[in-house]
């Protein structure tokens, strides 16, 4: 063999690889599509991942640590005590002075004082002058100091931060610049949230503040705030957030330092992104847009102090120093009706100022949720690994084993994501790898199921005209059973035959005979199938059926007895319906049924060209002989001793001991006369007892006693359908009385015909 020939793959190997690739194709296509989605990152996909991270935060909120941050809340009780908002700026000045006196390191207002105070003396005097009922010019009032000015003077003597709003609508108003912004690298203007205008605090107030920061925080598509922006831009001018400015003022730092991605030679598709922000001693790692991922704590009352307690002196100077000394204090309005409520992963209605406060806490503590740069790539590689691996392995492993692997992959991915969050504060999104596993498993399994169903449909179309429905379904599930061979089972066999069929058939044309057989055998077959029988074959007018194959039937004996009795009832019903009708129905028709139970060999039998699912064995032969004996004994159903022992509750009668043709050993045979309700009838019990006495005397050659017992039997024999059987034994007893049998006679009847 040449080297070239030796290296050539065999046809079977090529076919195997082609089949594997074909089976894996749906899973590979799904993996590719999901990988494209993961790389593209549509907004809906981000929302799905955010919901996962929200659930993590609810399961494990950030553990609260006192980071030196407090919130003064203008709550409902404060409004009730001090009057509606906005207050006179003198009240705000008193609040500021009290916090300053308590030693606050910074006082940041999550409130924008953008309009002049309407309660200032000059404005109040003007209002009074416009009142027709007023007298005087109120110049003494107008000469009093302006409230905004007084508040500004208080701000100047305090470590305060003024707030301002950012707007998408363009305007020329700009906040006061209190600190510089230094950029290490290129200015990341392209990625920072962009705005075109602002609504600042009044200059008379803001110019006296130590800092100014924006209070605007815009949530995600679902309005939930998951990230706190530390920087934004108004056109090309970078401005800090309230929390960032509060930390700068508290430390007395001069500037905010921005680190861009190109400061260390890194770029993202040619775009300059944010990496980190340094303010004083604190460095905050950010996402590419200059935001920190918020890891919220649960509700902590010790963080929040109602404003009324400060303004009404409910706290002593010592308590004030204990609560606010050296603290970064955020002042916000949380009263109902004041528009400063936001949604977070933990709460649907949260104070907006709490977001600023918790952002400052995280920067002070240095504890952040991180979404590393490599996270997206890792998730992409993981989903490709799972998708390709499952797509290739699933067809070979099958639905159950590949389902176990898929389940383990899903559980492992979710568990890994949770562990990264819980112990590493790292956000790794499990959504797309899990979706990949679920979709690939579903697609590959569905495709395999589709191919199997096509194969089964082909088998059904090929065999359903020749085999029983149960057998077709079994072969469709396992085509390998189309091999020759069989298995041994304990089974019950039924043979039935139409009485005098030759006489009936000779009076009909062939088409009439076929129609007659179809009309006759259909209800008889229905009766058997209703009792879980398998129809083996039709031999002209005869039916061969059995139980406990190909499917297990733990009630095979009772089902066979009930099925045989149902056939007799169906025959009686057909005779009653057809009585008097014109047509091919030849009067009352009777059938004989032989039933037997025993060990049989059942399976696909025949030649290699044609198979037939059937059974063989001594029990089958005996059932056939019993059917023939029903004509001799004049009963519709005869059964063997084994079956008789299995159904003692049915109405049955031992008929005789017979040696059938082709069998040396004699067999006790029994007539099946009715259902359990008949067996409990007192007349039936009396008849059965008398028949047993007759049979015992008959076998003991006690002819007089046998005749006496038979007389009692014949009194009710017609009621239970054994008048012909009683007549048969009356004839035998009379014959043997006149001419006794040989001394070695064993009472066994020798059948002469099959």
The pLDDT tens digits of the residues spanning 702-726 come to 999 999 999 999 988 888 999 999 9
Q: Give the highest mean pLDDT range of 32-46, 78-92, 337-351, 558-572.
A: 558-572
Residues 544-570 have a mean pLDDT of 94
| Greater model confidence, 314 or 578 | 314
Whether residue 94 is contained in a domain is answered as yes
- Quote the pLDDT of residue 7: 45
Whether residue 282 is contained in a domain is answered as yes
- Quote the pLDDT of residue 458: 62
Same domain membership, residue 341 and residue 393: no
Q: What are the C-alpha distances in Å from 148 to residues 120, 209, 249, 647?
A: 7, 13, 22, 105
Same domain membership, residue 249 and residue 210: yes
- Quote the pLDDT of residue 158: 95
Residues 386-390 have a mean pLDDT of 88
Whether the per-residue pLDDT at 463 is higher than 60: the answer is no
What pLDDT digit, counting tens, does each position of 164-208 carry?
999 999 999 999 887 888 888 888 888 899 999 999 999 999 999
Q: Give the highest mean pLDDT range of 220-224, 307-311, 371-375.
A: 307-311
Whether the per-residue pLDDT at 129 is higher than 90: the answer is no
Same domain membership, residue 503 and residue 417: no
Whether residue 658 is contained in a domain is answered as no
Residue pointed to by tokens 């383990």: 408
Cα 741 to its chain centre, rounded Å, is: 79
Percent of the chain clearing pLDDT 90 (strictly above): 57
User: Which DSSP symbol is given to 62?
Assistant: P
Same domain membership, residue 635 and residue 514: yes
* Contact of 534 with 468, CB cutoff 8 Å: yes
- Quote the pLDDT of residue 8: 46
Same domain membership, residue 324 and residue 257: yes
What pLDDT digit, counting tens, does each position of 644-698 carry?
999 999 999 999 999 988 788 899 999 999 999 999 999 999 999 999 999 999 9
Same domain membership, residue 395 and residue 295: no
What pLDDT digit, counting tens, does each position of 277-288 carry?
999 999 999 988
Whether the per-residue pLDDT at 624 is higher than 60: the answer is yes
Domain end, chosen from 631, 647, 663, is at: 647
Same domain membership, residue 51 and residue 81: no
Whether the per-residue pLDDT at 733 is higher than 90: the answer is yes
Whether residue 465 is contained in a domain is answered as no
Same domain membership, residue 219 and residue 128: yes
Q: What pLDDT band is residue 576 in, cutting at 50, 70 and 90?
A: confident
* Contact of 432 with 34, CB cutoff 8 Å: yes
Whether residue 467 is contained in a domain is answered as no
- Quote the pLDDT of residue 338: 75
Q: What pLDDT band is residue 606 in, cutting at 50, 70 and 90?
A: confident
Whether residue 373 is contained in a domain is answered as no
What pLDDT digit, counting tens, does each position of 198-224 carry?
999 999 999 999 999 999 998 888 889
Question: Range of 704's domain?
Answer: 677-754
Tally Cβ neighbours within 10 Å of residue 169: 8
Number of structural domains (the chain) is: 4
* Contact of 695 with 653, CB cutoff 8 Å: no
Residues 60-86 have a mean pLDDT of 93
Same domain membership, residue 697 and residue 576: no
Same domain membership, residue 327 and residue 270: yes
What pLDDT digit, counting tens, does each position of 233-259 carry?
999 899 999 999 999 999 999 899 999
Q: Mean of the per-residue pLDDT values for the chain?
A: 87
In sign, the C-alpha dihedral spanning 94, 98, 100, 106 is: negative
- Return d(Cα 185, Cα 259) in angstroms, integer: 6
Label each residue of 69-121 as H, E or C: EEEEEECHHHHHHHCCCCCCHHHHHHHHHHHHHCCCCEEEECCCCCCCCCCCH
Lowest mean pLDDT among 260-264, 519-523, 621-625: 260-264
Same domain membership, residue 297 and residue 156: yes
Whether residue 4 is contained in a domain is answered as no
Label each residue of 118-161 as H, E or C: CCCHHHHHHHHHCCCCCCCCCHHHHCCCCHHHHHHHHHHCCCEE
Whether the per-residue pLDDT at 584 is higher than 80: the answer is no
Whether the per-residue pLDDT at 475 is higher than 70: the answer is no
Same domain membership, residue 111 and residue 168: yes
Whether residue 141 is contained in a domain is answered as yes
| Greater model confidence, 525 or 394 | 525
């Amino acid at each position: 063999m040449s080297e070239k020939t030796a290296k050539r793959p065999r046809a079977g190997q090529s076919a195997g690889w082609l089949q594997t690739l074909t089976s894996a194709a749906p899973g590979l296509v799904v993996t590719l599509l999901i990988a494209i989605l993961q790389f593209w990152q549509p907004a809906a996909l981000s929302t799905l991942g955010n919901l996962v991270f929200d659930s993590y935060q609810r399961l494990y909120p950030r553990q609260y640590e006192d980071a030196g941050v407090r919130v003064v809340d203008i709550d409902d009780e404060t409004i009730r005590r001090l009057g509606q908002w906005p207050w006179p700026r003198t009240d705000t000045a008193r609040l500021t002075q009290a916090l300053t006196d308590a030693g606050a390191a910074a006082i940041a207002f999550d409130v924008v004082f953008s309009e002049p105070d309407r309660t200032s003396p000059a404005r109040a005097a003007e209002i009074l002058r416009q009142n027709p009922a007023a007298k005087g010019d109120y110049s003494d009032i107008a000469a009093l100091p302006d409230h905004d000015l007084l508040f500004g003077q208080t701000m100047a003597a305090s470590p305060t931060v003024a707030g301002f709003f950012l707007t998408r609508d363009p305007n020329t108003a700009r906040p006061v610049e209190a600190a510089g912004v230094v950029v290490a690298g290129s200015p990341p203007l392209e990625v920072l949230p962009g705005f075109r205008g602002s609504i600042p605090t009044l200059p008379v107030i803001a110019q006296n503040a130590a800092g100014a920061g924006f209070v605007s925080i815009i949530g995600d598509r679902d309005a939930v705030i998951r990230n706190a922006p530390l920087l934004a831009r108004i056109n090309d001018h970078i401005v800090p957030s309230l929390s960032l400015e509060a930390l700068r003022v508290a430390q007395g730092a001069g500037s905010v330092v921005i680190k861009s991605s190109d400061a260390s030679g890194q770029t993202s598709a040619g775009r300059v992104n944010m990496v980190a922000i340094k303010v004083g001693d604190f460095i905050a790692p950010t996402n590419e847009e200059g935001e920190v991922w918020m890891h919220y704590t649960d509700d902590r009352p010790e963080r929040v102090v109602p404003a009324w307690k400060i303004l009404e002196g409910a706290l002593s100077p010592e308590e004030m120093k204990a609560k606010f000394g050296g603290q970064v204090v955020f002042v916000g309005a949380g009263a109902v009706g004041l528009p400063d409520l936001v949604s977070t992963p933990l709460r649907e209605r949260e104070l907006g100022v709490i977001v600023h406060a918790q952002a400052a806490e995280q920067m002070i503590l240095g504890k952040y949720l991180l979404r590393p740069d490599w996270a997206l790539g890792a998730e992409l590689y993981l989903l490709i690994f799972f998708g390709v691996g499952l797509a290739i392995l699933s067809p070979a492993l099958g639905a159950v084993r590949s389902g176990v692997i898929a389940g383990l992959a899903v559980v492992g991915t979710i568990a890994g994501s949770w562990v990264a969050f819980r112990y590493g504060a790292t956000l790794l999104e499990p959504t797309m790898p899990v979706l990949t596993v679920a979709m690939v498993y579903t697609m590959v399994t569905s495709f395999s199921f589709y191919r199997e169903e096509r194969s089964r449909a082909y088998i059904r179309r090929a065999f359903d005209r020749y085999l029983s429905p149960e057998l077709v379904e079994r072969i469709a599930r396992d085509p390998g059973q189309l091999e020759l061979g069989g298995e041994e089972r304990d089974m019950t066999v039924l043979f039935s035959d139409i009485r005098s069929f030759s006489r009936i058939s000779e009076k009909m044309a062939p088409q009439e005979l076929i129609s007659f057989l179809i009309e006759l055998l259909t209800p008889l077959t229905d009766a058997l199938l209703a009792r879980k029988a398998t129809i083996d074959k039709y031999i002209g007018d005869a039916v061969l059926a059995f139980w406990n194959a190909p499917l297990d039937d733990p009630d095979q004996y009772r089902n066979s007895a009930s099925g045989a009795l149902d056939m007799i009832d169906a025959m009686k019903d057909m005779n009653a319906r057809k009585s008097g009708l014109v047509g091919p129905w030849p009067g009352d028709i009777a059938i004989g049924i032989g039933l037997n139970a025993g060990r049989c060999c059942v399976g696909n039998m025949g030649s290699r060209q044609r198979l037939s699912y059937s059974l063989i064995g001594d029990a089958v032969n005996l059932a056939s002989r019993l059917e023939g004996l029903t004509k001799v004994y004049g009963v519709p159903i005869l059964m063997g001793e084994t079956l008789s022992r299995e159904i003692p509750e049915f109405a049955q009668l031992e008929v005789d001991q017979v040696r059938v043709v082709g069998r040396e050993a004699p067999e006790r045979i029994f007539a099946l006369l009715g259902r359990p309700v008949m067996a409990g009838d007192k007349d039936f019990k009396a008849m059965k007892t008398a028949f047993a006495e007759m049979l015992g005397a008959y076998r003991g050659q006690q002819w007089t006693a046998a005749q006496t017992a038979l007389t009692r039997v014949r009194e009710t024999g017609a009621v239970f359908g054994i008048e012909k059987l009683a007549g048969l034994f009356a004839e035998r007893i009379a014959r043997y009385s006149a001419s006794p049998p040989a001394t070695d006679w064993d009472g066994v009847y020798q059948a002469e015909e099959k």
